[in-house]
Amino acid sequence: MVRVDPVPRVYQPSASPLGPPLACCTAHLPLQEVALWPPRVQGPQFQETHRIYRQKLEELTALQTLCSGSINKQKKRLKDLRLELQRYKRHAGREEVELVQQMGAHIKERQNVFFDMEAYLPKKNGIYLNLVLGNVNVTLLSNQAKFAYKDEYEKFKLYLTIILLLGAVACRFVLHYRVTDEVFNFLLVWYYCTLTIRESILISNGSRIKGWWVSHHYVSTFLSGVMLTWPNGLIYQKFRNQFLAFSIFQSCVQFLQYYYQRGCLYRLRALGERNHLDLTVEGFQSWMWRGLTFLLPFLFCGHFWQLYNAVTLFELSTHEECREWQVFVLALTFLVLFLGNFLTTLKVVHAKLQQNRNKMKKP
């Protein structure tokens, strides 16, 4: 009796707007039918959809160019008007000065509106982003993409803060090797470099972080780089434990700041009092006054620890066995960090106290 094998069944895929998949069923089809598949994949409907997409993309680019040009013209006019008001204010009377101040406030309000508009338009990168990324457009066009990038930035800070805390604890109490210290310092350099790049991208997309809290990370990058190049020796060992203890305390404070600032920002955004792209920072800002003043003692303690590091390094730089240039440079850098952090925090606290006094004086 002759056994007849069953005819193999050919899998028939479901219809798709892009045509049937190529790899699933070509094994049992004649070569002539397989040769007809590429035209079906690149069918007229798909090509028409892609043509419309390209057309809309060109229209979008033209609109972006038009809006950017109009905003630049308006900003130039506002700048000229502000200069004229400053010259006029010198010879104005009391009532005229009040009018000039009102016009100045209106100009500032218009500048904020233009800033929000530019967050959705391509723009030239700053010097730092041009050096790192080149002349590439980093503007995210949708709110969803902006918020997703901001949240990813916040998670990156949180995860790296925890890793740096564990690394500092391990180097301080377990791993007493120069190699592990170099790995820790390299991680600090990479962390702060990455923060500066991501913050620059967020600023290009409408985030209002500015002033010292942006410069702070550049200074910290430089400090970590100098620590990485500091060779092992007597002077290094004298400062090592103090620096690692400072790193542990700093990571703990940063974790507290992230945890409480994130909740405070969420509440203020829900009330419409803060921008959706506002970030957690390693310091104290005016919006933290309600609910986060308990962080001030920890912040001031960290600031004065930076001053203590600077004083210690200045003393070590005068040691008879000190031959490394890194000691004096690190002392100056810690002093700059202390002055920037302390004076900025003090300025914010003083401004808020003055503002509260003025509110109490009003009937």
| pLDDT tens per residue across span 91-103 | 777 777 778 778 8
pLDDT at 287: 46
User: Residue 89 pLDDT more than 90?
Assistant: no
pLDDT of residue 1 exceeding 50, the answer is no
The answer to whether residue 315 scores a pLDDT higher than 90 is yes
Q: How confident is the model at residue 298 (pLDDT cuts 50, 70, 90)?
A: confident
The per-residue DSSP string of 343-360 comes to: HHHHHHHHHHHHHHHHHH
Give 270 or 213, the one with higher predicted confidence. 213
Position 258 scores a pLDDT of 79
The whole-angstrom separation of Cα 303 and Cα 246 is 11
Radius of gyration of the chain (CA): 30
Is the predicted pLDDT of residue 332 greater than 50, yes or no?
A: yes
pLDDT at 105: 81
Residue 75 has pLDDT above 80, yes or no: yes
Mean pLDDT for the stretch of residues 299-309:
93
What one-letter code names the amino acid at 361? K
Q: Domain ranges for the chain, please list them.
A: 55-118, 140-352
DSSP string, 167-236: HHHHHHHT---HHHHHHHHHHHHHHHHHHHHHHHHHHHTT----THHHHHHHHHHHHHHHHHHPPPSHHH
- Top pLDDT among 39 and 51 is at 51
Mean pLDDT over 46-63 rounds to 85
Provide the percentage of residues in the chain whose pLDDT is more than 90: 28
Residue 267's pLDDT is what?
A: 62
Confidence grade of residue 26 (pLDDT, cut at 50, 70, 90)? very low
pTM of the shown model: 0.73
Please give the residue that has the higher pLDDT: either 284 or 151.
151
Give the pLDDT of residue 71.
84
CA–CA distance, 171 with 184 (Å, rounded to integer):
8
Compute CA distances 106 → 21, 70, 91, whole Å: 60, 19, 21
Give the residue, 140 or 363, on which the prediction is more confident.
140
Q: What is the mean pLDDT of residues 300-320?
A: 93
Contact 11, 24 (CB under 8 A): yes
Position 31 pLDDT exceeds 60: no
Please determine, for residue 295, whether its predicted confidence score (pLDDT) is greater than 90.
no
